[in-house]
Amino acid sequence: MSIKIALLGFGTVASGVPFLLKENSEKIVQAAHSEIEIAKVLVKDDAEKERLLAAGNHFNFVTTIDEIVNDNEVTIVVELMGRIEPAKTFITQALEAGKHVITANKDLLAVHGAELLEIAAKHKVALYYEAAVAGGIPILRTLVNSLASDKITRILGVVNGTSNFMMTKMVEEGWSYEAALAEAQRLGFAESDPTNDVDGIDAAYKMVILSQFAFGMTVKFEDVTHQGIRNITPEDVAVAQQLGYVVKLVGSIEETESGLAAEVTPTFLPKSHPLASVNGVMNAIFVDSIGIGESMYYGPGAGQKPTATSVVADIIRIVRRINEGTVGKAFNEFQRELVLAKPEDRKSPYYFSILAPDAKGQVLRLAEIFNTENVSFKQILQQGTDGNTARVVIITHAVNKTQLENVTRKLQATSDFKLLNTFKVLGE
């Protein structure tokens, strides 16, 4: 029996799918219990079709989604176009036509995932998206299957290769943010508009999806606090190293006493932490759980072959379920009511970088501001002076979000002090 699939788009990742189907055909057929055939490929227009054919791509290229959704022989639709529209419309049409769908579109899933999953359930078809979070790292299926018996308490993730490449340059070579961005763009790791990567938006989308699989709760994108790496300076990086930390853009999801807390923020990681050694464009997801304890899943978070590997794994799984007569079950069946953590239960140590007058008693004045919110110091460091001002660096003991906001507001309201940066610190 042969299962026919259709690809929506034929960019970098999509073109990796036929490569894997051919290269690993023997193993894939045995795993799927069927042969898998690419029946149609949707492209933008006739010009793109002609260009692809001229380049030696011998597929049945089509230019309208109707040619796929109305084809009864097409069983599985693989969306690898990216962006929210027209991907959402095309996926909806495919699901409503009774076709199973695979996508790597994290933006779409984070914003409209719940709606699309409802449509899939209504029409008793599958919607899988292993590649949406960490490219070639099989984290979603690991959470669903291998960790099904475990209770996860916290997830930490370095899940954006672009920002991690930039942070690696900033940490290891002392580059500025601007220099690191220029190099990432030159190498093709960053778009001309890098907003989604450097502002933590891409990572926040991935936290939305991970929250569903790890904790059974669907956190909305707007509930994931996100801060990017634009404001990180070489001075911040240097002091982090001096104090025994490495700076990374880290996504975190933690279940507190009152509920779930999810955020993406620059984070001071102890040099001994496994995530601190994740460099370049690589991704990693660190899991705290009551059964296993600590585990980490590491690998390429993007790229043609790694992402296509996860996509083809989804194809195999759906084909097997078709053959077993169990297709249509949800990718993730763990569901709980969403309860967000109270600000007072979201606790962590924090790093403060403050410009203060170079005069006696300034550290005491800072201590008084922090003491009013019952915030104590773990480490304090005064750096270089121009004779008029000095840079004071403070690492606090664990504080909650309410304390953090209050201290920040008081510092900003004090004319003598200039708050340069505030970052989360992993510790305690």
Q: How far apart are CA 124 and CA 118, in angstroms?
A: 10
Q: How far apart are CA 370 and CA 376, in angstroms?
A: 7
Bond into 86 cis (ω within 30): yes
Task: Note the pLDDT tens digit of each residue in 109-137.
Answer: 999 999 999 999 999 999 999 999 988 89
Residue 428 is predicted with a pLDDT of 56
From the list 140, 127, 68, 28, the residue with the least C-alpha distance to 327 is 127
206 is catalytic: yes
- The residue behind tokens 């040099």 is 271
Q: Which long-range contacts (CB under 8 A, 24 or more apart) does 293-302 make?
A: 297/134, 297/137, 297/138, 297/139, 297/142, 298/137, 299/134, 299/135, 299/136, 299/137, 300/135, 300/136, 300/137, 300/161, 301/134, 301/135, 301/136, 301/137, 301/159, 301/160, 301/161, 302/135, 302/161
Other beta carbons within 10 Å of 10: 22
Q: How far apart are CA 91 and CA 102, in angstroms?
A: 9
From the list 139, 140, 92, 135, the residue with the least C-alpha distance to 112 is 92
From the list 225, 250, 240, the residue with the least C-alpha distance to 160 is 250
From the list 110, 113, 111, 159, the residue with the least C-alpha distance to 137 is 159
The domains of the chain, with CATH numbers, are: 2-135+304-324 (3.40.50.720), 139-300 (3.30.360.10), 345-425 (3.30.70.260)
**Active site residue: 206, 347, 401, 424, which one?**
206
**Angle between the 106-122 and 201-215 helix axes, to the nearest 10 degrees?**
40
pLDDT below 50 — which residues of the chain? none
The count of residues in the chain is 428
Helix (H), strand (E), coil (C) string for 56-118: CCCCCEECCCHHHHCCCCEEEEEECCCCCCCHHHHHHHHHHCCCEEEECCHHHHHHHHHHHHH
Residue 200 is predicted with a pLDDT of 96
**DSSP-derived secondary structure for 366-389:** HHHHHHTTT--EEEEEEEEE-SSE
